[in-house]
Amino acid sequence: MTGNSRKNARNRPKSSINVDEDHHPINTDKKSKLRREKIKPRSFSKFQLLLGFFAVFVFAFSTYFIYSFVVNSTDYGSRKPRVITPFPAPKLMDLPQFQGEHKESLYWGTYRPHVYLGIRARTPQSLIAGLMWIGVKDGQYVMRHVCQDSDNLNTYGWTHHNGRDYGRQLIVDQGLTLETSFLKLREKGSGYGGDWAVRIDLQSKKSGSDEDSWGTGHFFFYMADEGGHAISMSRDVLDVHESSLLASGSRSDVGGWQLHLESADNPEIHYSGFKTPHIHNLSDLVLVTLAHQIRSFGYMQLPDNPGQSPNILVFQISAMVPFKADFAFVSGTDMKNSRIDERISSLTGENLTKQLVKKKNEYDDKFQRCFDLTEKVDSEAIVVGKATIANLIGGIGYFYGQSKISVPKNTDIKGDGYLLYWPAELYTAVPSRGVFPRGFLWDEGFHQLLIWRWDVRICLDVIGHWLDLLNIDGWIPREMILGAEALSKVPEEFVLQHPTNGNPPTLFLALHDLVFGIKMGKFSAAESSEISSFLEHAYIRLDAWFKWFNASQSGKDPNSYFWHGRDNITDRELNPKTLSSGLDDYPRASHPNEDERHLDLRCWMLLAADCLQTIVKVTEMSNESGKEYGFTVNQLSNFEILNKMHLDEAFGAYFDFGNHTEKVRLRSQLKMNGNHARQEMVREVLEEPKLQFVPHLGYVSLFPLMGKLIPPESWILGKQLDLISNRSLLWTNYGIRSLSKSSSIYMKYNTEHDPPYWRGTIWINMNYMILSSLHHYSEADGPYKLRAKTIYSDLRSNLLRNIIQNYYKTGYIWEQYDQKTGKGKGVRQFTGWSSLVVLIMSESYSSSWGMSNS
């Protein structure tokens, strides 16, 4: 089957140290010097052997797996395949507006969203830093580093983050609370990109006589150079009272650099150095080292061995909980008048505290200016809103590498069945730090609906990076897996990207808003100028992107489209998935073929065409292109044509069209596999399909409503309001269902092991668009104005109440919500498009599709 689902399982083994908590001696005397922790050797005979073999196996296997994916390349000779040929136009990221001050101001950041705290620069071979710590789970010590849902943390995520130079994160791991703060400063004497500081504050959640039950806390702070440059370690690293210097080095981008530690809590420090290009395996490296120490000496501590010319240094910081430590990174230390001591002082201790308080207050003020929630929601909701937008922005990452592309059919390319895209960088938000910490094309448009309101220059930077991924045919991969760290989170079967498959062009949602914002005077003169310049230069890429869709995803009938890539020969799926649509298992025609007409794609094409014609008008470009897109908009927004192609007048609902039968089921059959037989679920078709509307009411049916394409006086609008407010169909107390209860496929498994995904549960991105349309119709003159307003108010209240209650109950924003109970489901800390709850709070909605002509 072509395509790859975002609903994938993470198969990475979890790093853990299986040491019984009872054998961990606790020093309850805070005033005494921290003693070396010795673990009784006789308690670990089996554990030592098993852990050692397991850790070595995990490290060796994962290293080989990632290395084979990342390093492997193919020589295609003089004839480079079109699918891996970049679009022949100047890169948007080379525009002057993305150079100079803008580029340097964003150089350093928390751009490694897949780890609980990770810092890097926006450069392919960066110096990186990060945090690990020893936690406790089920009475055993475990290593925390990579964000994983299976860690079952009480909560984690940024509560404040401005996307540029400040962030505050709260992590609650059983009884241990970690507050991590990030601050960036650019002072006189600093190198390119400036300096930065990280504060780690460990506290015990327990109070009274149990406060010291954690005893000694252990965390690991590391520096690593992706370029392989050696990192030097200070001779006095074991005694922070004599010198605060931990490590130093030199790079062409930032010059000389140093890492310093300041702490008033008398920590004990141990360290280990490594020389390896496989930084994505750092958790395993530390795990193997600790396992060896435990087996050999009974000590859970690093061996104080820097190794030979290491490009990774890991520092183990141990002290009684609570304790606090400040790490200061200073650049340009090889320059004259570098003022190292003064800059370190600014990044540590009381000076750092003052800076963090100031930045926190600035964040709160900016949040109020951007979203103005004071009169719209209560204080509890505002706390959720601040944390949600912070985790979206704090989850922005920088990635570099080559995507793996499936070999197009009907080509004579030989090899391993895949091609390598050109080496590319991507600066993007991510759907989820724990499960999907990489770029997803259709998610990103929804992300940018929030980010442009927060920082329009960051928004343009992100969109520019995505559009620079366009190939010569006008195609952009739907999922970008760039670099070893991103690849380490993706099972092999989901890595390939298929050049015949599209993905909803949701970037046009944000671009449409930007164009509309210019017309309505929402931006400053400088911002409007930058946006207009960007749009003018981006137009050639956007035009090629639209034309790729128009050529590759068009249907047999004029003005019709269908998502290519569905499996038309499967006998395992109840309804062949449409992964390229983003709606995965939402039911379409039972028998895919070229007669299909997909309503949602038609509406996305209208959005794109309308945005392109509006860009031409705003930027005063050649009017010929505008006329071409104006004609397309007129055709796709023509209400009569829309109704003829997709409206079931008897039911009053919009549907897909295709070769379909409802008489399909999964049935257990005995299948032979060699000499063995087993029961398998196989699709059984009980009647011949025929061309007809596909009678599955749900999100796809509501796209004309979401696009505000229905005239406010039309009876069809009234019917749509009937459908979404009907409890027997789509309405719930927690939001609008993705699929009606009346559907024959409602909440059904698609295969024996493939549970329902878009078959009934509540998704925030679609509910946001439904609310946007209801808000529009509640203000438009017509017979349904008051009814639209009532439904809007009720739906908004239901969504906010449920999301906020879930947040306070579970500590997370969720990927989806159960239609029966309202309980969060799927991926936790899904502050991608579920962050649209902030716009629902502020009642900030997108501009209309196809309405620029009216």
| Digit-coded pLDDT (tens) for 5-23 | 454 433 333 334 444 433 3
Determine how many CB atoms are found less than 10 A away from the CB of residue 713.
12
Which SS3 state, helix, strand or coil, does residue 769 take? helix
Three-class HEC string of 719-760: HHHHHHCCCCCCECCCCECCECCCCCCCCCCCECCECCCCCC
C-alpha distances out from residue 370 to 366, 562, 842, Å: 6, 38, 9
* Amino acid (1-letter code) at residue 839: L
Global pTM reads 0.90
User: In this predicted structure, what is the pLDDT of residue 140?
Assistant: 80
812, 805 in Cβ contact below 8 A?
no
Tokens describing residue 717: 């609008």
Determine how many CB atoms are found less than 10 A away from the CB of residue 753.
8
Tokens describing residue 641: 């044509």
Q: Which listed residue (262, 461, 815, 818) is catalytic? A: 815
User: In this predicted structure, what is the pLDDT of residue 76?
Assistant: 55
User: In this predicted structure, what is the pLDDT of residue 625?
Assistant: 76
Helical pair 441-454 and 507-519, crossing angle rounded to 10 deg: 30
701, 743 in Cβ contact below 8 A?
no
Task: Give me the residues paired with residue 629 across strands.
Answer: none
E strands of 449-572, at which residues?
A: 479-480
CA neighbor of 764 nearest in space, from 720, 670, 827, 810: 827
Radius of gyration of the chain (CA): 28
573, 751 in Cβ contact below 8 A?
yes
User: In this predicted structure, what is the pLDDT of residue 41?
Assistant: 35
User: In this predicted structure, what is the pLDDT of residue 16?
Assistant: 40
Q: Is the dihedral of CA 756, 759, 765, 768 positive or negative?
A: negative
Task: Give me the residues paired with residue 184 across strands.
Answer: 196
Interacting residues of 789 by C-beta distance below 8 A, sequence separation 6+: 774, 778
Burial (CB < 10 A; 0-12, 13-18, 19+), residue 640, is exposed
CA neighbor of 584 nearest in space, from 821, 745, 702, 733: 745
CA neighbor of 222 nearest in space, from 182, 274, 170: 274
Interacting residues of 145 by C-beta distance below 8 A, sequence separation 6+: 15, 115, 116, 130, 131, 132, 282, 283
User: In this predicted structure, what is the pLDDT of residue 241?
Assistant: 59
| CA dihedral angle for residue 769, residue 830, residue 278, residue 136, rounded to 10 degrees | 180
Q: What is the largest CA-CA distance in the chain?
A: 83
User: In this predicted structure, what is the pLDDT of residue 175?
Assistant: 86
Dump the DSSP string for 821-840: T--EEEEES--SGGGGHHHH
Determine how many CB atoms are found less than 10 A away from the CB of residue 46.
9
CA neighbor of 430 nearest in space, from 464, 475, 462: 462
Interacting residues of 773 by C-beta distance below 8 A, sequence separation 6+: 705, 706, 707, 708
User: In this predicted structure, what is the pLDDT of residue 612?
Assistant: 96
262, 244 in Cβ contact below 8 A?
yes
Which SS3 state, helix, strand or coil, does residue 173 take? strand
Instruction: Check if 226 is active-site.
Output: no
CA neighbor of 51 nearest in space, from 303, 290, 299, 270: 290
Ramachandran angles phi, psi of 762, nearest 5°: -100, 125
User: In this predicted structure, what is the pLDDT of residue 239?
Assistant: 63
User: In this predicted structure, what is the pLDDT of residue 78?
Assistant: 56
User: In this predicted structure, what is the pLDDT of residue 61?
Assistant: 47
Q: Which listed residue (584, 585, 596, 818) is catalytic? A: 584
423, 472 in Cβ contact below 8 A?
no
User: In this predicted structure, what is the pLDDT of residue 557?
Assistant: 95
844, 371 in Cβ contact below 8 A?
yes
Task: Give me the residues paired with residue 217 across strands.
Answer: 319
In angstroms, rounded to a whole number, what is the distance separating the alpha carbons of residues 565 and 577?
9
In angstroms, rounded to a whole number, what is the distance separating the alpha carbons of residues 845 and 384?
19
791, 720 in Cβ contact below 8 A?
no
Instruction: Check if 815 is active-site.
Output: yes
CA neighbor of 220 nearest in space, from 113, 111, 327, 350: 327
Helical pair 525-552 and 599-619, crossing angle rounded to 10 deg: 140
In angstroms, rounded to a whole number, what is the distance separating the alpha carbons of residues 514 and 573?
41
| pLDDT per 10-residue tile (average), the chain, 854 residues | 42 38 36 36 38 47 43 54 96 98 98 97 97 86 92 96 98 93 95 97 68 73 96 76 85 96 93 92 92 91 93 95 96 91 96 98 98 95 98 98 89 80 98 96 98 98 98 96 89 89 97 94 95 97 98 96 96 96 98 98 97 92 82 96 97 98 94 83 96 98 97 98 98 98 98 96 98 97 98 98 98 98 97 98 86 46
